Chains A and B, each alone.
Chain A
Amino acid sequence: MAKTADQYFDDLRETRVWRSIFRSGTGASTLKRALAIQQNVFLHLFSTKVRTRMLSFSATWYLGTLTLGTFFILVATGIPLMLYYHPSVPQAYYDTKDLQFVVSSGLFLRNLHRWSAHAMVFLVFAHMFKVFYRGAYRTPREFNWVIGVILLLITLLLSYTGYLLPWDQLAYWAITVGSNIASAVPLIGNKIHFLLLGGNSVNANALLRFYVLHCMILPLTAIFFVAIHFWRIRKDGGLYAQSSEPAVLRSRPVASEKEAQ
């Protein structure tokens, strides 16, 4: 039964249409598989081979992958949410209410977007600490670590700007509290505060600004840096594995290494 399905799939992959899309061709050979990665505009960011050791769950906890997953969900849910939303006061709030009460599955979409956003912030933090404790920030991966830090900040900003959009009390005051911190910057604090909000307090201008940031500027910036982030993994020698550490480290008692257990 399984074989028949495989055969059908093979036949499909031999069709002209398929071949016109995926040039790498069929076959289980290493070459074909390498080409499958190399000749795909998205997948070519990754290396064609990965150390077997890095496949285990304990090596990375798949935190980077999961973060990417939340990003996918957020884009997928964010776009339909934009269709029901006006970034104006107080319509934004009533749109959110309508999402909750009348739009088909609107409540589900909003729930998924919100919980995924929280999950993404958490996963980005977790990813960063995991990378640190594995020592994966070391040469030659310094710059990718810096890009990771930038992505962390972008994620926080994405979440923070999205927080205002429902225009409810929770949103309003969270943003008020958060943006007041910016005022504390010496000398230019009030200017930053004004620039961020488009006014001296959280108002309709701030909502519009946050909307544009949340739906356009920050996602595009994030995609840009994520692309670099992935590409650099390949360019920096693939996922960091302990064996590529300097010799000094490997002379330590193996028993003390968690990863080696």
Chain B
Amino acid sequence: MADTKEFVAVVDSNAKKSPRRIVFITRRTSAQVKTETEDQVQTFPEVLFRAAIAIQVLTIVLVWTSLIFNAPLEGLADPSHTPNPAKAPWYFLGLQEMLHYFPPVVAGVLAPGLVVMALIVIPYFKVNIEAEGFFTKDRERRLRIFYAVAAVLVVFLGTFHVIVAMVPTLIMAGLMLLASQSSAQSPSAFRRYLAAKPLSYWVMTWFLLELMVLTAIGTFFRGPGWSWVLPWKAY
């Protein structure tokens, strides 16, 4: 839809009386407006009421949760008694789990820093803006790159004995292999789905899976001395 309107920069004859104002509307800037033929509804009342309902339902759930479950409170902070294990809040336990394997610079600084950087640059990263399947074009070369990257990742994780992070990596690698063998014409809907997924999808899903696995392990499966425990067994 490259129906950008043409604007003409008009120069006023008397620049001192009225300031010169030049407007540039280029492609894909914020002020881009596209014609829509789709059905629309008024925000008021349709959207607002729905939003209100959503927030109310959420509040109801949280109120009942708070009536039934009490927030944890432990003993007075005591710098001389380190609890074992000393755990960060749950959303940092993925990081803490990584700290168990990698030096702090890697796990604590490099990895989260790179993740935040990656998240920020995602929309500006114009590779494959059309978001077509990763293996639809240039399949051989991309397969080779995929093999190389997957092998490097597995070896890297292997050297640090990060078995827990290797499992999601291998699952994702397997799915990507399956995607490379599929196309839009594949008989199974799942394979057609995989074949249509772009690189960003694969990277993000790998990240999501790692995040969930590491956080879950850090939360439920780690006991004294960051040793492996089962969540249903008291330590």
Question: Could you tell me the distance between the alpha carbons of A168 and B73 in the complex, rounded to whole angstroms?
Answer: 7
Question: Could you tell me the distance between the alpha carbons of A246 and B27 in the complex, rounded to whole angstroms?
Answer: 13
Q: Which residues from B are CB-within-8-Å of A48? A: 42-44
Q: Which residues from B are CB-within-8-Å of A223? A: none
Looking at B6-14, B77-85, B138-146, B149-157, the stretch in contact with chain A turns out to be B77-85
In the bound complex, do residue B120 and residue A181 qualify as a contact, i.e. CB atoms below 8 Å apart?
Answer: no
Q: Which of A90, A112, A256 contacts B196 (CB 8 A)?
A: A256
In the bound complex, do residue A49 and residue B58 qualify as a contact, i.e. CB atoms below 8 Å apart?
Answer: no
Q: Is A243 on the interface with B (CB-CB < 8 A)?
A: yes
**How far in angstroms is the closest Cβ of chain A from B41?**
5
Q: Give 1 or 0 for each of B52-95: 1 = CB within 8 Å of chain A CB.
A: 00110011001101110111111111110111001111111001
Question: Could you tell me the distance between the alpha carbons of A239 and B218 in the complex, rounded to whole angstroms?
Answer: 36
Q: Is B38 on the interface with A (CB-CB < 8 A)?
A: yes
Q: Evaluate whether A112 and B63 lie within 8 angstroms (CB atoms) in the complex, with A34-B42, A140-B28 already known.
A: yes
In the bound complex, do residue B87 and residue A50 qualify as a contact, i.e. CB atoms below 8 Å apart?
Answer: no
- Majority DSSP secondary structure for residues of A touching B: helix
Q: Which residues from A are CB-within-8-Å of B45? A: 33
Q: Is B208 on the interface with A (CB-CB < 8 A)?
A: yes
In the bound complex, do residue A111 and residue B69 qualify as a contact, i.e. CB atoms below 8 Å apart?
Answer: yes
Q: Which of A50, A73, A107, A178 contacts B47 (CB 8 A)?
A: A50
In the bound complex, do residue B40 and residue A52 qualify as a contact, i.e. CB atoms below 8 Å apart?
Answer: yes
In the bound complex, do residue A184 and residue B108 qualify as a contact, i.e. CB atoms below 8 Å apart?
Answer: yes
Q: Which residues from B are CB-within-8-Å of A227? A: none
In the bound complex, do residue A49 and residue B42 qualify as a contact, i.e. CB atoms below 8 Å apart?
Answer: yes
In the bound complex, do residue B124 and residue A169 qualify as a contact, i.e. CB atoms below 8 Å apart?
Answer: no
Q: Which residues from B are CB-within-8-Å of A185? A: 105, 108-109
Q: Which residues from B are CB-within-8-Å of A107? A: 70-71
Nearest A-chain residue to B205, judged by Cβ = A133
Nearest A-chain residue to B66, judged by Cβ = A111
Question: Could you tell me the distance between the alpha carbons of A189 and B104 in the complex, rounded to whole angstroms?
Answer: 11
Q: Which residues from B are CB-within-8-Å of A145? A: 122-123
Quick one: which of B36, B54, B201 has the most chain A CB within 10 A?
A: B54
Nearest B-chain residue to A142, judged by Cβ = B123
In the bound complex, do residue B192 and residue A153 qualify as a contact, i.e. CB atoms below 8 Å apart?
Answer: no
In the bound complex, do residue B43 and residue A235 qualify as a contact, i.e. CB atoms below 8 Å apart?
Answer: no
Beta-carbon contacts under 8 Å, B166-215 to A = 184, 189, 192-193, 195-196, 201, 204, 208
Beta-carbon contacts under 8 Å, A215-259 to B = 232, 235-237, 241, 243-249, 252-253, 255-256, 258
Q: Which residues from A are CB-within-8-Å of B48? A: 43
- How many residue pairs bridge A and B at CB < 8 Å? 236
In the bound complex, do residue B73 and residue A232 qualify as a contact, i.e. CB atoms below 8 Å apart?
Answer: no
**How far in angstroms is the closest Cβ of chain A from B169?**
18
Q: State how many residues of chain B have any CB contact under 8 Å with chain A.
A: 79
Q: Evaluate whether A65 and B51 lie within 8 angstroms (CB atoms) in the complex, with A52-B38, A169-B81, A237-B33 already known.
A: yes
Question: Could you tell me the distance between the alpha carbons of A258 and B119 in the complex, rounded to whole angstroms?
Answer: 24
In the bound complex, do residue B87 and residue A174 qualify as a contact, i.e. CB atoms below 8 Å apart?
Answer: yes
Question: Could you tell me the distance between the alpha carbons of A93 and B50 in the complex, rounded to whole angstroms?
Answer: 40
Q: Which residues from A are CB-within-8-Å of B88? A: 174, 177-178
Q: Is A139 on the interface with B (CB-CB < 8 A)?
A: yes
Q: Is B131 on the interface with A (CB-CB < 8 A)?
A: yes
Q: Which of B65, B76, B108 contacts A168 (CB 8 A)?
A: B76
In the bound complex, do residue B55 and residue A178 qualify as a contact, i.e. CB atoms below 8 Å apart?
Answer: no
**How far in angstroms is the closest Cβ of chain A from B80?**
11
Q: Is B46 on the interface with A (CB-CB < 8 A)?
A: yes
Question: Could you tell me the distance between the alpha carbons of A168 and B129 in the complex, rounded to whole angstroms?
Answer: 49
Q: Which of A68, A241, A248 contacts B132 (CB 8 A)?
A: A248
Show 26 residue pairs from A and B whose CB-CB distance is below 8 angstroms, ordered by the A residue.
Answer: A48-B44, A52-B41, A66-B54, A66-B55, A69-B58, A73-B62, A90-B76, A93-B76, A108-B67, A111-B67, A114-B71, A135-B131, A137-B123, A138-B129, A143-B123, A145-B122, A145-B123, A159-B91, A166-B73, A168-B76, A172-B79, A173-B82, A177-B86, A237-B34, A249-B130, A255-B192
Counting from the closest, the 7 A-B pairs by CB-CB distance are A184-B104, A142-B123, A172-B77, A69-B55, A111-B66, A181-B108, A173-B86
Using a CB–CB cutoff of 8 Å, the interface residues on chain A facing chain B are 30, 33-34, 36-37, 43, 46-53, 55, 62, 65-66, 68-70, 72-73, 89-90, 93, 96-97, 100, 107-108, 110-116, 118-119, 121, 125, 128-129, 132-133, 135, 137-143, 145-146, 149, 152-153, 156, 159-160, 163, 166-174, 176-178, 180-186, 189, 201-202, 232, 235-237, 241, 243-249, 252-253, 255-256, 258
